[in-house]
Amino acid sequence: MPAAKHDLLAGRPLPAAGPRARLRERLRAWYRAERRDLPWRRTSDPYAIWISEAMLQQTRVEAVVEYYARFLERFPSLRALSEADVEAVLATWSGLGYYRRARALHAAARVIAVEHGGEFPRDHAAALALPGVGRYTAGAVQSIAFDAPRALVDGNVERVFSRLFGLETAAGSRPLQDACWTLAEHLVPRRGGAGEWNQALMELGATVCTPRSPRCGSCPLERVCAARAAGSAERLPAPKERPPTIDVELELALARRGSTVLLERRAATGRMAGMWQLPSVERARPDMRTALFPPDWTGGARLALGPGLFDLRHTITKHRIVARVRRATATHVAAGGPYRWVEVAEIGALAVTGMTKKALARAMPEPD
Ligand code: SF4
């Protein structure tokens, strides 16, 4: 076997044909018996698989199941997504977070409709050229939908490989990523079964080779696992250095007028661009303002804050937010500005931030 070029694999032979075939066979047999019945596993439609892959990035399976069904009901085909208004796409995505994914899906759907006849491209370079589609997503969609011999590495695969091959380095680091991609390319079946192999690897990482307390005794790869043999499964891969969390304190103003509530549209660029939220402002430690929220809400509205209703906890990437929702009275709202009185019954059609969605659900559980 050719020696791997990367440092982490230098000096180690990659699995030869025999062990590689046995590895595939063991994992495949396990997957067929143990795999979870997830909605996106019941289809070979590249569009539906693509949607699931976009949603699953950085989001738990349990949360995705519900959004996946709703999204496909609203946009049942790539054509439907490409013809939709981005606002409607964001509204349907609202609550899943990482809204760039939704914007990229929409932009890519438009490219696919115009340049690829409405079907997710089979050509790898063409897929990689789409907005928001990287090596992982292209590999996932093409292997699962078309059974193309494409490798993939996500967090689950990285953990499995790190343990299986005893790769002692930090999770998410460049050397580990490179080594895992080399292994993934080497191991992916070339003559059929790539999609199943990729899903089996991810499933093993999600359900058996878990970040904490891996269930090695139930693992089909136990006998060939380097970390199992060395007793190092629990500590591999080494934890990645995380940026420190930033505590943010906010005021959210709940101003109502009849059957409407006052919402504020975020700026057209930056995080959660163009989405709607309750007028929000950071209150504590102005020196530490995060730029996640505007410094005040005077640009088009004048609000008098009333009593606090409740506190809400919400996390946006590294920002840990405590938001105090307060009753408010608007004494002036300028026409044409970022503020708008919105019918409560119509809020569902707007792209509303996850935190505002939470706040409204708690403040007004039933629409007026
Ligand atoms: S034996 Fe344990 S550490 Fe190794 S792949 Fe299986 S679950 Fe992961």
Q: Output the residue whose Cα is nearest ligand 1's atom 2.
A: 216
Residue 159 beta carbon below 6 angstroms from any ligand 1 atom: no
Ligand 1 probe mutation, 183, 204, 228, most atoms within 8 A of CB: 228
303 within a domain of the structure (yes/no):
yes
Question: Which of 111-115, 303-307, 340-344 has the least mean pLDDT?
Answer: 303-307
Name the domain boundary from 235, 256, 273.
235
Ligand 1 nearest atom to the CA of residue 225, by list position: 4
User: Residue 273 sits in a domain of what CATH number?
Assistant: 3.90.79.10
Residues 89 and 201 both lie in one domain: yes
Mean pLDDT on 147-171: 96
Confidence of residue 3 (pLDDT cuts 50, 70, 90): very low
Closest CA to 188 of 220, 147, 226, 216: 147
Backbone angles phi, psi at 282, to 5 degrees: -70, 140
35-49, 91-105, 274-288, 312-326 — most confident range: 35-49
Confidence of residue 299 (pLDDT cuts 50, 70, 90): low
Cα 176 to middle of ligand 1, angstroms? 17
Residues 159 and 203 both lie in one domain: yes
266 within a domain of the structure (yes/no):
yes
Name the domain boundary from 200, 216, 235.
235
Measured in whole angstroms, the distance separating CA 62 from the mean position of its chain's CA atoms is: 12
Q: Which long-range contacts (CB under 8 A, 24 or more apart) does 282-287 make?
A: 282/248, 282/249, 282/250, 283/249, 283/250, 283/251, 283/324, 284/249, 285/249
Residues 40 and 67 both lie in one domain: yes
Residues 254 and 170 both lie in one domain: no
368 within a domain of the structure (yes/no):
no
Residues 112 and 52 both lie in one domain: yes
Residues 220 and 323 both lie in one domain: no
Residue 163 beta carbon below 6 angstroms from any ligand 1 atom: yes
2 within a domain of the structure (yes/no):
no
Instruction: Respond yes or no on whether the N-terminal peptide bond of residue 237 is cis (omega within 30° of 0).
Output: yes
Q: Output the residue whose Cα is nearest ligand 1's atom 1.
A: 222
The residue range of the domain holding 156 is 7-235
Share of the chain above pLDDT 70, in %: 93
30 within a domain of the structure (yes/no):
yes
Number of domains in the chain: 2
Residues 284 and 219 both lie in one domain: no
Strand partners, 340: 263
**Length of the chain, in residues:** 368
- Per-residue model confidence (pLDDT) at position 2: 45
Residues 353 and 205 both lie in one domain: no
Ligand 1 probe mutation, 222, 224, 235, 236, most atoms within 8 A of CB: 222
48 within a domain of the structure (yes/no):
yes
Joined tokens for residue 104: 């990229």
1 within a domain of the structure (yes/no):
no
Mean pLDDT on 248-269: 91
DSSP state at residue 15: P
Residues 191 and 81 both lie in one domain: yes
Confidence of residue 1 (pLDDT cuts 50, 70, 90): very low
User: Residue 225 sits in a domain of what CATH number?
Assistant: 1.10.340.30
Judge whether 53 counts as a catalytic residue.
Answer: yes
Residue 200 beta carbon below 6 angstroms from any ligand 1 atom: no
226 within a domain of the structure (yes/no):
yes
Backbone angles phi, psi at 266, to 5 degrees: -70, 165
Residue reference for tokens 């011999």: 149
Name the domain boundary from 212, 235, 258.
235
- CA gap 10, 230 in Å, rounded: 20
Cα 207 to middle of ligand 1, angstroms? 11
Joined tokens for residue 236: 């591999």
Residue 167 beta carbon below 6 angstroms from any ligand 1 atom: no
Cα 259 to middle of ligand 1, angstroms? 56
Ligand 1 nearest atom to the CA of residue 216, by list position: 2
Residues 72 and 154 both lie in one domain: yes
Cα 168 to middle of ligand 1, angstroms? 15
Mean pLDDT on 325-348: 90
Q: Is the pLDDT of residue 79 over 70?
A: yes
Question: Is the Cβ–Cβ distance between 316 and 303 less than 8 Å?
Answer: no
Residue 366: exposed, middle, or buried by beta-carbon count in 10 A (0-12, 13-18, 19+)?
exposed
Measured in whole angstroms, the distance separating CA 353 from the mean position of its chain's CA atoms is: 15
Residue 227 beta carbon below 6 angstroms from any ligand 1 atom: yes
Joined tokens for residue 367: 């629409």
DSSP state at residue 238: B
- CA gap 148, 121 in Å, rounded: 12
The contacts of residue 180 (CB under 8 Å, 6+ apart) are 153, 157, 158, 161, 162, 167
